[in-house]
Protein backbone atom coordinates (compact mmCIF):
# COMPACT_ATOMS: atom_id res chain seq x y z
CA UNK A 1 0.00 0.00 0.00
CA UNK A 2 1.23 3.50 -0.75
CA UNK A 3 2.18 5.62 2.23
CA UNK A 4 -0.28 8.44 2.85
CA UNK A 5 1.28 11.88 3.04
CA UNK A 6 0.07 13.53 6.23
CA UNK A 7 2.56 16.32 6.61
CA UNK A 8 4.32 14.67 9.55
CA UNK A 9 1.06 14.34 11.47
CA UNK A 10 2.46 11.43 13.46
CA UNK A 11 5.05 13.69 15.13
CA UNK A 12 2.56 16.47 15.91
CA UNK A 13 0.94 16.45 19.35
CA UNK A 14 -2.63 15.38 18.60
CA UNK A 15 -5.62 17.24 19.92
CA UNK A 16 -7.79 14.13 19.71
CA UNK A 17 -7.06 10.46 20.26
CA UNK A 18 -9.53 7.92 18.90
CA UNK A 19 -9.30 4.62 20.85
CA UNK A 20 -10.86 1.57 19.21
CA UNK A 21 -10.55 -2.03 20.48
CA UNK A 22 -10.50 -4.64 17.71
CA UNK A 23 -11.41 -8.32 17.91
CA UNK A 24 -11.93 -10.23 14.66
CA UNK A 25 -13.02 -7.19 12.63
CA UNK A 26 -11.02 -7.81 9.44
CA UNK A 27 -13.99 -7.11 7.20
CA UNK A 28 -15.11 -3.98 9.04
CA UNK A 29 -11.76 -2.28 9.71
CA UNK A 30 -11.20 -0.61 6.30
CA UNK A 31 -14.68 0.91 6.41
CA UNK A 32 -14.23 1.98 10.03
CA UNK A 33 -10.90 3.62 9.19
CA UNK A 34 -12.34 5.45 6.17
CA UNK A 35 -15.30 6.86 8.11
CA UNK A 36 -13.21 7.93 11.12
CA UNK A 37 -10.64 9.65 8.89
CA UNK A 38 -13.34 11.49 6.93
CA UNK A 39 -14.93 12.75 10.15
CA UNK A 40 -11.68 13.78 11.86
CA UNK A 41 -10.21 15.45 8.77
CA UNK A 42 -13.42 17.44 8.53
CA UNK A 43 -12.83 18.74 12.06
CA UNK A 44 -9.36 19.93 11.08
CA UNK A 45 -7.41 19.41 14.32
CA UNK A 46 -4.48 16.98 14.65
CA UNK A 47 -5.57 13.51 15.72
CA UNK A 48 -4.41 9.94 16.12
CA UNK A 49 -6.29 6.67 15.72
CA UNK A 50 -5.23 3.99 18.23
CA UNK A 51 -6.29 0.45 17.29
CA UNK A 52 -5.90 -2.27 19.93
CA UNK A 53 -5.73 -5.81 18.57
CA UNK A 54 -7.29 -7.88 21.35
CA UNK A 55 -6.02 -11.29 20.25
CA UNK A 56 -7.86 -11.39 16.92
CA UNK A 57 -7.79 -14.76 15.15
CA UNK A 58 -8.56 -13.44 11.67
CA UNK A 59 -6.56 -11.00 9.55
CA UNK A 60 -7.37 -7.95 11.66
CA UNK A 61 -3.78 -7.30 12.74
CA UNK A 62 -2.54 -7.56 9.16
CA UNK A 63 -5.11 -4.94 8.15
CA UNK A 64 -4.09 -2.72 11.07
CA UNK A 65 -0.44 -3.05 10.10
CA UNK A 66 -1.27 -2.00 6.54
CA UNK A 67 -3.24 1.01 7.79
CA UNK A 68 -0.31 2.05 10.01
CA UNK A 69 2.12 1.71 7.12
CA UNK A 70 -0.13 3.79 4.93
CA UNK A 71 -1.08 6.42 7.50
CA UNK A 72 1.27 7.31 10.41
CA UNK A 73 -1.67 8.75 12.33
CA UNK A 74 -2.76 5.16 12.92
CA UNK A 75 -1.07 3.59 15.95
CA UNK A 76 -1.46 -0.09 16.74
CA UNK A 77 -1.19 -2.03 20.02
CA UNK A 78 -0.99 -5.78 19.43
CA UNK A 79 -1.87 -7.85 22.53
CA UNK A 80 -0.09 -11.15 23.12
CA UNK A 81 -3.53 -12.77 23.57
CA UNK A 82 -7.15 -11.84 24.16
CA UNK A 83 -7.35 -9.79 27.38
CA UNK A 84 -10.89 -8.50 26.93
CA UNK A 85 -12.67 -5.42 25.64
CA UNK A 86 -12.38 -3.36 28.84
CA UNK A 87 -8.65 -4.03 29.14
CA UNK A 88 -8.20 -3.07 25.49
CA UNK A 89 -9.86 0.28 26.21
CA UNK A 90 -7.49 0.74 29.17
CA UNK A 91 -4.48 0.06 26.94
CA UNK A 92 -5.71 2.69 24.50
CA UNK A 93 -6.03 5.23 27.31
CA UNK A 94 -2.50 4.36 28.49
CA UNK A 95 -1.08 5.22 25.06
CA UNK A 96 -3.35 8.14 24.09
CA UNK A 97 -1.63 11.51 23.77
CA UNK A 98 -4.57 13.76 22.90
CA UNK A 99 -6.11 16.55 24.95
CA UNK A 100 -9.37 14.65 24.51
CA UNK A 101 -9.83 10.90 24.00
CA UNK A 102 -12.78 9.37 22.16
CA UNK A 103 -13.56 5.70 22.87
CA UNK A 104 -15.49 3.95 20.12
CA UNK A 105 -16.05 0.34 19.06
CA UNK A 106 -14.67 -0.66 15.67
CA UNK A 107 -17.77 -2.64 14.59
CA UNK A 108 -19.51 0.55 13.34
CA UNK A 109 -22.52 0.12 15.60
CA UNK A 110 -21.46 3.44 17.09
CA UNK A 111 -21.32 5.79 14.06
CA UNK A 112 -18.14 7.90 13.86
CA UNK A 113 -20.30 10.71 12.47
CA UNK A 114 -21.48 11.39 16.06
CA UNK A 115 -17.93 12.33 17.14
CA UNK A 116 -18.24 16.04 16.13
CA UNK A 117 -21.23 16.40 18.50
CA UNK A 118 -19.13 15.00 21.35
CA UNK A 119 -16.33 17.43 20.53
CA UNK A 120 -18.69 20.43 20.51
CA UNK A 121 -19.86 19.58 24.03
CA UNK A 122 -16.24 19.19 25.15
CA UNK A 123 -15.34 22.56 23.67
CA UNK A 124 -18.26 24.03 25.61
CA UNK A 125 -16.75 22.80 28.89
CA UNK A 126 -17.93 19.23 29.43
CA UNK A 127 -15.20 16.86 30.62
CA UNK A 128 -17.02 13.57 30.00
CA UNK A 129 -19.40 13.43 27.05
CA UNK A 130 -21.17 10.07 26.80
CA UNK A 131 -23.19 8.97 23.79
CA UNK A 132 -26.65 7.88 24.94
CA UNK A 133 -28.71 5.58 22.73
CA UNK A 134 -32.24 6.73 21.96
CA UNK A 135 -32.71 3.84 19.53
CA UNK A 136 -30.89 0.54 18.98
CA UNK A 137 -31.24 -1.10 15.58
CA UNK A 138 -30.92 -4.84 15.04
CA UNK A 139 -30.99 -5.90 18.70
CA UNK A 140 -33.33 -8.50 20.14
CA UNK A 141 -36.06 -7.74 22.65
CA UNK A 142 -34.19 -9.89 25.17
CA UNK A 143 -31.02 -7.81 24.74
CA UNK A 144 -32.94 -4.54 25.08
CA UNK A 145 -34.87 -5.74 28.13
CA UNK A 146 -31.82 -7.21 29.89
CA UNK A 147 -29.83 -4.01 29.27
CA UNK A 148 -32.64 -1.88 30.69
CA UNK A 149 -32.89 -4.08 33.80
CA UNK A 150 -29.10 -4.05 34.28
CA UNK A 151 -28.72 -0.26 34.23
CA UNK A 152 -31.69 0.29 36.53
CA UNK A 153 -30.37 -2.37 38.90
CA UNK A 154 -26.94 -0.71 38.96
CA UNK A 155 -28.56 2.63 39.79
CA UNK A 156 -30.39 1.11 42.75
CA UNK A 157 -27.56 -0.92 44.29
CA UNK A 158 -24.57 1.38 43.79
CA UNK A 159 -23.66 4.83 45.05
CA UNK A 160 -22.76 6.11 41.58
CA UNK A 161 -25.13 7.22 38.84
CA UNK A 162 -24.40 5.35 35.62
CA UNK A 163 -26.42 6.88 32.78
CA UNK A 164 -28.99 4.52 31.28
CA UNK A 165 -28.65 3.25 27.70
CA UNK A 166 -24.98 4.09 27.35
CA UNK A 167 -21.97 2.06 26.32
CA UNK A 168 -18.28 2.85 26.13
CA UNK A 169 -18.73 5.35 23.27
CA UNK A 170 -17.72 8.64 24.88
CA UNK A 171 -15.24 11.51 24.93
CA UNK A 172 -12.94 11.99 27.93
CA UNK A 173 -10.98 15.12 28.76
CA UNK A 174 -7.27 14.66 29.45
CA UNK A 175 -7.81 15.22 33.19
CA UNK A 176 -10.34 12.39 33.23
CA UNK A 177 -7.98 10.10 31.31
CA UNK A 178 -5.13 10.86 33.72
CA UNK A 179 -7.40 9.87 36.62
CA UNK A 180 -8.54 6.65 34.93
CA UNK A 181 -5.06 5.41 34.00
CA UNK A 182 -4.10 5.45 37.69
CA UNK A 183 -6.75 2.80 38.36
CA UNK A 184 -5.21 -0.61 37.67
CA UNK A 185 -7.95 -2.96 38.87
CA UNK A 186 -8.23 -6.10 36.74
CA UNK A 187 -12.01 -6.61 36.64
CA UNK A 188 -12.89 -3.35 34.97
CA UNK A 189 -16.19 -1.70 34.14
CA UNK A 190 -14.98 1.38 32.30
CA UNK A 191 -18.32 3.16 31.95
CA UNK A 192 -18.75 2.79 35.71
CA UNK A 193 -15.24 4.10 36.39
CA UNK A 194 -15.79 7.12 34.13
CA UNK A 195 -18.94 7.91 36.14
CA UNK A 196 -17.15 7.33 39.45
CA UNK A 197 -14.37 9.86 38.79
CA UNK A 198 -16.91 12.65 38.55
CA UNK A 199 -16.11 15.82 36.56
CA UNK A 200 -18.68 17.62 34.42
CA UNK A 201 -20.62 15.03 32.44
CA UNK A 202 -23.09 15.55 29.60
CA UNK A 203 -25.00 13.34 27.15
CA UNK A 204 -25.35 13.33 23.39
CA UNK A 205 -28.27 11.30 22.01
CA UNK A 206 -27.71 9.09 18.98
CA UNK A 207 -29.13 6.11 17.11
CA UNK A 208 -27.09 2.93 17.45
CA UNK A 209 -26.69 0.99 14.21
CA UNK A 210 -26.67 -2.69 13.35
CA UNK A 211 -23.31 -4.43 13.07
CA UNK A 212 -21.65 -3.70 9.72
CA UNK A 213 -20.37 -7.30 9.47
CA UNK A 214 -19.58 -10.31 11.60
CA UNK A 215 -21.25 -11.43 14.83
CA UNK A 216 -21.54 -9.97 18.32
CA UNK A 217 -18.50 -10.29 20.55
CA UNK A 218 -20.70 -10.27 23.66
CA UNK A 219 -22.71 -13.53 23.79
CA UNK A 220 -24.89 -14.29 26.82
CA UNK A 221 -22.17 -15.84 29.02
CA UNK A 222 -19.86 -12.85 28.45
CA UNK A 223 -22.68 -10.45 29.27
CA UNK A 224 -23.26 -12.31 32.54
CA UNK A 225 -19.55 -12.09 33.42
CA UNK A 226 -19.55 -8.41 32.46
CA UNK A 227 -22.52 -7.80 34.75
CA UNK A 228 -20.78 -9.59 37.63
CA UNK A 229 -17.69 -7.41 37.14
CA UNK A 230 -19.86 -4.30 37.23
CA UNK A 231 -21.80 -5.32 40.35
CA UNK A 232 -18.79 -6.54 42.35
CA UNK A 233 -16.77 -3.46 41.36
CA UNK A 234 -19.30 -0.95 42.62
CA UNK A 235 -21.56 -2.64 45.19
CA UNK A 236 -21.35 -4.67 48.41
CA UNK A 237 -25.08 -5.33 48.33
CA UNK A 238 -24.78 -9.08 47.51
CA UNK A 239 -22.67 -9.56 50.64
CA UNK A 240 -25.09 -7.51 52.71
CA UNK A 241 -27.98 -9.61 51.38
CA UNK A 242 -26.15 -12.78 52.44
CA UNK A 243 -25.81 -11.44 55.98
CA UNK A 244 -29.41 -10.26 56.16
CA UNK A 245 -30.77 -13.50 54.74
CA UNK A 246 -28.71 -15.45 57.26
CA UNK A 247 -30.29 -13.54 60.16
CA UNK A 248 -33.78 -14.04 58.71
CA UNK A 249 -33.26 -17.80 58.31
CA UNK A 250 -31.81 -18.03 61.83
CA UNK A 251 -34.89 -16.28 63.25
CA UNK A 252 -37.24 -18.54 61.28
CA UNK A 253 -35.31 -21.58 62.45
CA UNK A 254 -35.66 -20.56 66.10
CA UNK A 255 -39.39 -20.11 65.68
CA UNK A 256 -39.56 -23.44 63.86
CA UNK A 257 -37.72 -25.22 66.65
CA UNK A 258 -40.20 -23.93 69.25
CA UNK A 259 -43.19 -24.88 67.09
CA UNK A 260 -41.77 -28.35 66.36
CA UNK A 261 -41.10 -28.98 70.02
CA UNK A 262 -44.62 -27.95 71.00
CA UNK A 263 -46.20 -30.07 68.26
CA UNK A 264 -44.12 -33.06 69.26
CA UNK A 265 -44.98 -32.73 72.95
CA UNK A 266 -48.72 -32.11 72.62
CA UNK A 267 -49.73 -33.82 69.36
CA UNK A 268 -46.92 -36.09 68.26
CA UNK A 269 -47.53 -34.68 64.76
CA UNK A 270 -43.88 -34.58 63.62
CA UNK A 271 -42.90 -38.11 62.68
CA UNK A 272 -40.05 -39.22 60.41
CA UNK A 273 -37.19 -37.35 58.74
CA UNK A 274 -38.70 -36.20 55.42
CA UNK A 275 -39.41 -32.64 56.56
CA UNK A 276 -36.03 -32.41 58.24
CA UNK A 277 -34.26 -33.60 55.10
CA UNK A 278 -36.09 -31.09 52.90
CA UNK A 279 -35.19 -28.27 55.29
CA UNK A 280 -31.53 -29.33 55.37
CA UNK A 281 -31.38 -29.44 51.56
CA UNK A 282 -32.99 -26.01 51.33
CA UNK A 283 -30.57 -24.46 53.81
CA UNK A 284 -27.64 -26.21 52.14
CA UNK A 285 -28.62 -24.73 48.77
CA UNK A 286 -28.90 -21.24 50.24
CA UNK A 287 -25.49 -21.61 51.88
CA UNK A 288 -23.87 -22.70 48.62
CA UNK A 289 -25.38 -19.74 46.78
CA UNK A 290 -23.98 -17.26 49.28
CA UNK A 291 -20.64 -19.07 49.42
CA UNK A 292 -20.53 -18.56 45.66
CA UNK A 293 -21.19 -14.84 46.08
CA UNK A 294 -18.41 -14.58 48.66
CA UNK A 295 -16.18 -16.59 46.31
CA UNK A 296 -16.76 -14.06 43.51
CA UNK A 297 -15.47 -11.25 45.72
CA UNK A 298 -12.56 -13.33 47.04
CA UNK A 299 -11.56 -14.34 43.53
CA UNK A 300 -11.40 -10.72 42.49
CA UNK A 301 -9.35 -9.83 45.57
CA UNK A 302 -6.96 -12.67 44.66
CA UNK A 303 -6.59 -11.29 41.13
CA UNK A 304 -5.70 -7.88 42.53
CA UNK A 305 -3.12 -9.02 45.11
CA UNK A 306 -1.19 -10.98 42.48
CA UNK A 307 -0.46 -7.59 40.89
CA UNK A 308 -0.04 -8.95 37.39
CA UNK A 309 -0.02 -6.40 34.54
CA UNK A 310 -3.38 -5.62 32.98
CA UNK A 311 -2.12 -6.70 29.56
CA UNK A 312 0.98 -7.70 27.62
CA UNK A 313 1.63 -6.08 24.26
CA UNK A 314 3.49 -8.17 21.71
CA UNK A 315 4.14 -5.10 19.59
CA UNK A 316 3.32 -1.40 19.55
CA UNK A 317 3.37 0.35 16.18
CA UNK A 318 3.90 4.06 16.75
- Residue 112 is classified by DSSP as G
The 10s digit of each residue's pLDDT in 63-96 is 999 999 999 999 999 999 988 888 999 999 999 9
Q: Which residues are bridge partners to 131 per DSSP?
A: 204
159: exposed, middle or buried (Cβ count in 10 Å: 0-12, 13-18, 19+): exposed
Task: Quote the pTM value.
Answer: 0.72
pLDDT tens figures, 172-213: 999 999 999 988 888 778 877 888 888 899 888 888 876 655
The span from the CA of 15 to the CA of 108, in Å, is 23
Give pLDDT tens digits for 20-68. 999 888 888 999 999 999 999 999 899 999 999 998 888 899 999 999 9
Q: How confident is the model at residue 220 (pLDDT cuts 50, 70, 90)?
A: low
Convert the pLDDT of each residue in 254-287 to its tens digit. Answer: 776 677 677 667 776 555 565 666 677 677 777 7
Q: What 3 state SS string does 237-298 have? A: HHHHHHHHHHHHHHHHHHHHHHHHHHHHHHCCCCCCCHHHHHHHHHHHHHHHHHHHHHHHHH
Q: What is the structure's pLDDT at 6?
A: 47
Question: What digits encode the pLDDT tens for the residues 236-245?
Answer: 677 777 777 7
Phi, then psi, of 208 in degrees rounded to 5: -75, 140
> What Rg do the C-alpha atoms of the chain give, in angstroms?
25
CA nearest neighbour of 29 among 72, 86, 74: 74
Q: How many CB atoms within 10 Å of residue 82? A: 16
Amino acid sequence: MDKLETGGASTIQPTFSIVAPVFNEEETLPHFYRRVIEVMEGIGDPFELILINDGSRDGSFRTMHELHTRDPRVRVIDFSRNFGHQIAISAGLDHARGAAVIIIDSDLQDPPEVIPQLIVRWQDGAEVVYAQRNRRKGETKFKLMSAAIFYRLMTRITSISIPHDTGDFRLLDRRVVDALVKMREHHRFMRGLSAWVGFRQEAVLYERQERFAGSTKYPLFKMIGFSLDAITSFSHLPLELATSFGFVLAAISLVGIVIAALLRIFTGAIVGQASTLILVLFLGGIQLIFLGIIGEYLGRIYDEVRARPLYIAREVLD
